[in-house]
Amino acid sequence: MLGPRPPIPYEVEKYEPSHLRRILEVKPGITGLWQVEGRSKTSFDDMVRMDLRYVHNWTLWLDIKILLKTAKAVLKDSGAV
């Protein structure tokens, strides 16, 4: 449920070798660090960095924080800002 969302084809085309960790080391999810901290305000490189930060620093507490931020965004109807 949590983790980097599955990449879309044009994103994979832009991947550098180090970016592959984003999709190879954790299962994809429907919400993640990028969705609650960046959304459409970030560049492609920032999105990948946030997802890799999630991969490298995963903890149960991080998932709980992401879930709480996701719920807050949904309840506030902040959507893809």
Q: What is the pLDDT of residues 53-66, one digit of tens each?
A: 888 899 999 999 99
What are 2's strand-pairing partners?
31
Any idea what DSSP says for residue 7? P
pLDDT interval class at 67 (50, 70, 90): very high
pTM over 0.85: no
Residue 81 has pLDDT above 60, yes or no: no
Q: What is the pLDDT of residues 6-60, one digit of tens each?
A: 888 888 888 888 887 777 778 888 888 888 887 778 888 888 888 888 888 999 9
- Give Cβ neighbours of residue 26 (< 8 Å, ≥ 6 apart): 3, 4, 54, 55, 58
